Structures are given as structure tokens and as C-alpha cells.
């Protein structure tokens, strides 16, 4: 599809959503969770998108495109949905366009992050769209720049009240005394598919998991801290030079099934 960037609403206003889906072992990983999040996002954005979800239309489009590639390799699939051209801030239509792109992906083992800091220049705020993966990702771009400039492995974002929110591209979890903790969506973090999977699996396995508002001190007293997204898992070894033990207990019952 040829895109006119002078009119394209995703380019001009960030008026779009995206999903990043991993394909490996002949399967679309966590597809139902991706579809549920995309449906919720489309409803919030008031997109006319029902056709994407009827009769597995979107899934069939993705699988059809995968067949044009070397299917023996793992793939990163990006699905972008955006409102059609027209209007300024106020759209004249809710009809959507969509695009699917595919690239090869190397699946990495669990990484150990030895230099993790707390963002100083960007803070997250809760809103009706803060949990969505939108085509406006300025807070994460700025966080990535701060990470790069400070020569860090990753950077943790706080909300405007000083609560832990997430990593620069991942949700965050930690353990203390066999209880799993993660920030609430009210802290402005994205409702990650990996996050949703861990919440569901913890409930299924009768593991206590608490999502809420927590300060950085909670991380420094944790038995272990991890970052998760659909691409992989990262263990944090230090936060602002504070050493974090690597004592996975109940999380080790869930993580092998995530990626």
C-alpha cells in the first residue's frame, strides 16, 4: 500500500495502533491475547474494525503473508492499524487501513542486565490510551535516548507520582517471599501481552501476584527483578548500582512457557 505521509493520520497524529507478534514453531505466539488487546484498542479509538476479527480474517492474512517467506525461521510480525485520511485533530471518518510486515527474528536466551538506571527526564501518566500500543511512542523514544546517552542496558520509567511503571520496552515483575509483584496499569504502563500471560498463569497455578503502586525501594529489596515482552525475558542484576539477587522461585514456574 502506498502511503501519502502528508495525509496519513498515523504519521501526522499518531492515530493508530500496532501489535508485534512472534511466529515460531509454526505458531503465532499468544495470538488470542494479541487479538483481545487489539480489539480493546480499536474500541477505545472508535475504529470501524470489526472486519479484522470476523472469521479469523486478520489471522488468515498474517499466515498467508508468512507463507511467502522462509517459514522455517522465527518471525517478528508487525500489524499496524490506523484511521483513514481526513480531518485535522478531529477525524472525518473511523474507517481504517491496516498493514502487515514480517522480518526474521533471532530468539535470544534470557539476558542479564548489569547496568539498569531510573529515568530522570521522562515520566508516564495514566490515561485511557496509556495501556495501548499506539503509533505515538514519544515517551519510549526519549527513554531510549536517555538509556543510550547514559550507556545503560535498560532504563526504568516511573509515573508522575514516583511509582515504578515499566522498562523502556518491557513490563516489569519482581518476587519477594514467593509473591510476584507488578505495577498497575494506573501507573501508565502498557498492557503487555507478556504481562497478561503472566497474570493469567499465576492465577492458574495459584501463585499470589499483586499489581499495584510501588516505589523503587521495593525493587531494591526484591529477591529478583525481570523485564518481559513477547520477544524475551531479561533479568536485572543491578539498579542504579544496587545489586539485585537472582533468586527466581515462583516466576520460574511461569517464564519457560512465556517465550
Q: In this model, does residue 190 exceed pLDDT 90?
A: yes
pLDDT tens column, 28-58: 999 999 999 999 999 999 999 999 999 999 9
Question: Would you call 43 helix, strand, or coil by DSSP?
Answer: helix
Confidence of residue 2 (pLDDT cuts 50, 70, 90): low
Among 161, 173, 233, smallest CA distance to 199 is for: 173
| CATH level 3 topology of 111-257 | D-amino Acid Aminotransferase; Chain A, domain 2 (3.20.10)
* Segment 217-227 mean pLDDT: 96
Q: Select 9-104's CATH number: 3.30.470.10, 1.20.1560.10, 3.30.70.890, 2.60.120.10.
A: 3.30.470.10
**CA 77 distance to own-chain centroid:** 14
Contacts with 238 (C-beta within 8 Å, 6 or more apart), sequence order: 113, 114, 115, 116, 244
**Distance from C-alpha of 38 to C-alpha of 52, rounded to nearest angstrom:** 10
pLDDT tens column, 228-246: 987 889 999 999 999 999 8
Domain parsing of the chain, residue ranges: 9-104, 111-257
Alpha-carbon torsion angle 26, 32, 37, 42, nearest 10 = 90
CA atoms within 13 A on the CB side of 153: 16
* Segment 54-69 mean pLDDT: 95
pLDDT at position 20 is 96
Q: In this model, does residue 73 exceed pLDDT 60?
A: yes
pTM of the predicted protein model: 0.93
User: Which residues share a beta bridge with 209?
Assistant: 180
CA atoms within 13 A on the CB side of 32: 3
Amino acid at each position: 500500500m502506498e502511503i501519502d505521509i502528508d495525509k496519513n493520520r498515523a504519521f501526522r497524529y499518531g492515530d493508530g495502533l500496532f501489535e508485534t507478534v512472534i511466529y515460531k514453531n509454526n505458531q503465532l505466539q499468544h495470538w488470542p491475547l494479541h487479538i483481545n488487546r487489539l480489539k480493546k484498542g480499536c474500541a477505545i479509538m472508535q475504529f470501524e474494525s470489526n472486519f479484522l476479527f470476523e472469521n479469523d480474517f486478520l489471522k488468515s492474512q498474517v499466515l498467508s503473508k508468512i507463507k511467502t517467506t522462509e517459514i522455517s525461521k522465527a518471525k517478528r510480525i508487525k500489524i499496524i492499524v490506523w484511521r483513514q485520511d481526513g480531518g485535522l485533530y478531529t477525524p472525518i471518518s473511523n474507517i481504517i487501513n491496516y498493514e502487515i510486515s514480517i522480518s526474521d527474528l533471532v530468539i535470544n536466551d534470557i539476558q542479564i542486565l548489569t547496568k539498569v538506571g531510573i529515568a530522570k527526564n521522562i515520566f508516564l501518566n495514566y490515561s485511557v490510551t496509556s495501556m495501548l500500543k499506539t503509533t505515538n511512542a514519544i515517551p519510549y523514544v526519549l527513554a531510549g535516548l536517555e538509556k543510550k546517552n547514559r550507556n545503560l542496558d535498560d532504563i526504568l520509567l516511573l509515573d508522575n507520582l514516583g511509582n515504578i511503571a515499566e522498562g523502556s520496552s518491557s513490563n516489569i515483575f519482581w518476587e519477594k517471599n514467593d509473591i510476584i509483584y507488578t505495577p498497575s496499569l494506573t501507573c501508565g504502563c502498557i498492557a503487555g501481552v507478556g504481562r497478561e500471560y503472566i497474570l493469567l498463569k499465576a492465577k492458574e497455578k495459584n501463585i499470589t501476584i499483586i499489581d499495584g503502586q510501588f516505589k523503587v525501594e521495593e525493587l531494591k529489596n526484591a529477591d529478583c527483578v525481570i523485564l518481559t515482552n513477547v520477544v524475551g525475558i531479561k533479568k536485572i542484576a543491578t539498579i542504579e548500582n544496587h545489586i539485585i539477587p537472582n533468586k527466581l522461585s515462583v516466576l520460574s514456574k511461569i517464564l519457560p512457557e512465556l517465550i
